[in-house]
Amino acid sequence: MADDTAPTADEADEADEAEAVEGDEVVEVVDDSSDTAEGTAAVEGDQVETVERRMSHLRLATIFGLIALLAVSGLAGWLGYRAYDSHRADVTRKDFLAAGKQVVLDLTTIDVDHVDQQTQRILDSATGTFYDDFERRAQPFAQVVKELKSKTEGSINEAGVESASDTDAQILVAVTVKTSIAGQPPQPIRAFRMRISVQKIGDDVKVSEVKYVS
């Protein structure tokens, strides 16, 4: 007698198709999960790379910014020093020029009534060989002025710095001198050119040499 529970040929085919469909569905589900994971990993990798790239650009920008800041600070400091150095040199030259002009006026402006004070002022502004020479001649010079009752008045026509360093300078001065002597007719006006050597000693500028030049 035949077994009624045994599947027929049609039922067996349907069961095989069902298993194939289920297998395909399983395979498709697994494949979708793998693709999603790979896509997620790729997106995350791109995000990490983007962040790293941004961080790299930020570091470079920071480094360049610091370099630019240091360069600007260095340039500002250098320009400031140059300006200060130039200003200091200009002030020193002006001090040298003023000292040279003053000693010429002191030497060519002598009044019989103030000759002792005037010669002392010249000594106070002198140093070196000029001090030694003028100190020897100061008294005889004052005595002659008193005896002649003379008066001289100097006027500077031109003056300039011939050469200069931080500590000394050569000053050229053109001066005219008017002289009057008691009981004598008016004296002719005389013109002189003088080279004055000045020297910085501490905070003062003193005259170290005086020469007449043609």
Full set of structural domains in the chain with CATH: 93-213 (3.10.450.50)
User: pLDDT tens across 48-104, in order?
Assistant: 566 556 666 677 677 767 776 666 666 666 556 566 556 677 889 999 999 999 999
- pLDDT (mean) for 120-144: 94
CB 202 within 8 A of CB 123: no
pLDDT band at 194 (very low <50, low <70, confident <90, very high): very high
Cα(94)–Cα(105) distance, rounded to whole angstroms? Answer: 16
Which element (helix H / strand E) includes 150? strand 150-164
Structure tokens at 89: 């040199």
Cα(154)–Cα(168) distance, rounded to whole angstroms? Answer: 25
Cα(162)–Cα(176) distance, rounded to whole angstroms? Answer: 20
CB 156 within 8 A of CB 104: yes
Q: Which has the closest alpha carbon to 169: 214, 209, 129, 123?
A: 209
Query: Between these two residues, 25 and 140, which has the higher pLDDT value?
Result: 140
At 2 the pLDDT is 44
Residue 122 has a CB neighbour count (10 Å cut-off) of: 21
Sheet holding 204-213, edge to edge: 110-111, 150-164, 168-181, 190-201, 204-213
> Is the pLDDT confidence value at 214 over 80?
no
Cα(96)–Cα(175) distance, rounded to whole angstroms? Answer: 17
**CB-based contacts of 135: which residues, under 8 Å, 6+ apart?**
123
Q: Report the predicted TM-score, pTM, of the whole model to 2 decimal places.
A: 0.62
